[in-house]
């Protein structure tokens, strides 16, 4: 029986898994150091109190049970070493997992440039436990402001470094949430400030001018101080030193200034780019090992035009689905299908029930309608997974 292993239970890994389970005669193992699939784009709602942990996670144990595959198993393990020749995966828990085909889907993490002193003071909210920590810290700051507002009303300044999608969305959600907090309670001590620092000459570099303009307008209306064309030089305990010669006092720092591939890629002697992402061919295979595939954010994926695709959910879905189909094709000695991802558009959450987006490169939308489209897209992904984990939960309770 052919053995297929997926390392990483994120978006791309789950899409690959959904294809692979169509073959009931192979053994499939999903490995992840976490017990849950983190719905990363929705973590900002968690921080803004619009959702809870159950809304932004999918339990991997019940998910796998709900897929009703006779030879599918989930293992909560941390990979330590990959032996490509022996086709074995060694883990910190001393368990060895064998494979015939391997899917690398471990994603990326926030890159903290070592040349910036003191950056260890910043938070990485892409990780769920840090998002929860920040949420609690943010709420504690708001509580302290109203607790002592009659005696003192010190400035609270949150600085978000990095004005890509993650930076813009978290800044907008925090600004909106704090604004509504002070308004709802009629608190006088409402001097919470949020600054967004971009090293580029604009926010959201690479997106359409119209989308940038709409987003900038929304950030401005939320009172966010947008600082462009400025780099972070040093991160001190209570202030940041910027390349424009200024120092900014801060209460919190959130760093979203770039990504790097999961360190698990160091286990593979294959071609990688400067961020550690694995270079793959049109079938999503690594250059040395045709039985090892890389998908989602951990891979540098190109379309048929040779353009590098951005790391997002759409590319994760397309690459994960394609890799799953190609492995099944290899097992049956059939022709594989080239991966040619096309972006369906981009939607940016900008605080409250407001978003901005570009659909299929044809039309721009903003406001409530863009927000509803974004929620629909998320729901269309999450709903079938919820049905699977509910089925898995029922099966688990019968054991």
Residue extents of the structural domains in the chain: 3-110+259-342, 119-255
Q: Which CATH class is domain 3-110+259-342?
A: alpha beta
Residue with tokens 């978290």: 170
pLDDT for 188: 47
Residue with tokens 């200024």: 246
DSSP string, 220-244: HHTT-EEE-S--EEEE-SSEEEETT
Which of the residues in the chain have pLDDT under 50? 150-151, 188
- Cα–Cα distances (Å) from 124 to 51, 101, 348, in that order, read 19, 33, 19
pLDDT for 258: 79
CA atoms within 13 A on the CB side of 268: 31
**Chain segment 332-346, per-residue pLDDT in tens:** 999 999 999 998 889
Q: Tell me whether the CATH fold assigned to 3-110+259-342 matches the one assigned to 119-255.
A: yes
pLDDT for 150: 45
How far is residue 388's CA from residue 78's CA, in Å, rounded to a whole number?
25
pLDDT for 54: 74
- Cα–Cα distances (Å) from 374 to 208, 237, 325, 345, 353, in that order, read 18, 37, 28, 11, 10
Contact partners, residue 140, CB within 8 Å, separation at least 6: none
How is residue 281 annotated by DSSP? -
CA 256 to chain CA centroid, Å, is 11
How far is residue 44's CA from residue 174's CA, in Å, rounded to a whole number?
8
How is residue 70 annotated by DSSP? T
How far is residue 38's CA from residue 42's CA, in Å, rounded to a whole number?
9
Which helix (H) or strand (E) covers residue 317, if one does?
Answer: helix 313-331
The backbone torsions φ and ψ at residue 47, rounded to the nearest 5 degrees and listed phi first, read -65, -35
- Cα–Cα distances (Å) from 63 to 29, 67, 107, 385, in that order, read 13, 6, 19, 7
pLDDT for 226: 96
CB–CB of 2/27 below 8 Å? yes
The three-class DSSP label of residue 197 is: strand
How far is residue 194's CA from residue 197's CA, in Å, rounded to a whole number?
10
pLDDT for 396: 83
Fold of 119-255: FAD/NAD(P)-binding domain (3.50.50)
Looking at 154-214, which runs of residues are DSSP E strands? 156-161, 192-197
How far is residue 275's CA from residue 210's CA, in Å, rounded to a whole number?
29
In the structure encoding, which two tokens stand for residue 234, read together? 């040093």
Dihedral angle of Cα 231, 236, 240, 246, to the nearest 10 degrees? -100
Which helix (H) or strand (E) covers residue 294, if one does?
Answer: strand 292-294
> In angstroms, what is the C-alpha Rg of the chain?
22
């Amino acid at each position: 029986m052919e053995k297929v292993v997926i390392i990483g239970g994120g978006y791309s890994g789950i899409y690959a898994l959904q294809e692979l389970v169509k073959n009931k005669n192979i053994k499939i193992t999903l490995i992840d150091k976490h017990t849950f699939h983190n719905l990363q784009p929705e973590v900002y709602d968690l921080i803004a109190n619009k959702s809870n942990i159950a809304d932004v996670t999918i339990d991997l144990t019940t998910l796998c049970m709900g897929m009703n595959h006779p030879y599918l198993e989930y293992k909560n393990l941390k990979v330590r070493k990959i032996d490509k020749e022996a086709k074995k995966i060694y883990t910190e828990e001393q368990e060895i997992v064998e494979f015939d085909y391997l899917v690398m889907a471990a994603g990326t993490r926030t890159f903290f440039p070592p040349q910036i002193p003191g950056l260890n003071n910043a938070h990485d909210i892409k990780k769920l436990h840090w998002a929860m920590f920040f949420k609690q810290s943010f709420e504690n700051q708001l509580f302290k402001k109203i607790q002592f507002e009659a005696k003192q009303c010190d400035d609270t300044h949150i600085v978000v470094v990095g004005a890509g999608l993650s930076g813009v969305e978290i800044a907008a959600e925090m600004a909106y949430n704090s604004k509504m907090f002070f308004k709802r309670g009629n608190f006088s001590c409402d001097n919470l400030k949020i600054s967004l620092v971009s090293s580029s000459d604009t926010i959201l570099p690479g997106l359409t001018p119209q989308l940038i303009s709409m987003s900038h307008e929304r950030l401005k209306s939320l009172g966010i101080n947008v600082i462009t064309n400025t780099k972070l030089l040093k991160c001190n305990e209570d202030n940041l030193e910027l390349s424009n010669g200024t120092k900014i006092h801060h209460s919190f720092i959130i760093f979203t200034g770039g990504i790097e591939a999961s360190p698990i890629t160091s286990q593979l002697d294959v071609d990688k780019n400067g961020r550690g992402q694995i270079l793959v061919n049109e079938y999503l295979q690594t250059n040395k090992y045709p039985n090892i595939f890389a998908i989602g954010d951990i891979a540098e994926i190109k379309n048929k035009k040779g353009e590098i695709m951005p790391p997002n959910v759409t590319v994760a879905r397309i690459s994960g689905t394609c890799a799953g189909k190609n492995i099944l094709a290899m097992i049956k000695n059939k022709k594989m299908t080239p991966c040619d991802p096309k972006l369906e558009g981009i939607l940016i959450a900008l605080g409250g029930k407001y978003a901005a987006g570009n659909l299929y490169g044809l039309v721009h939308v903003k406001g409530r309608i863009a927000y509803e489209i974004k929620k629909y897209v998320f729901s269309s992904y999450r709903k079938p997974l919820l049905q699977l984990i509910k089925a898995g939960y029922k099966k688990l309770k019968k054991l």
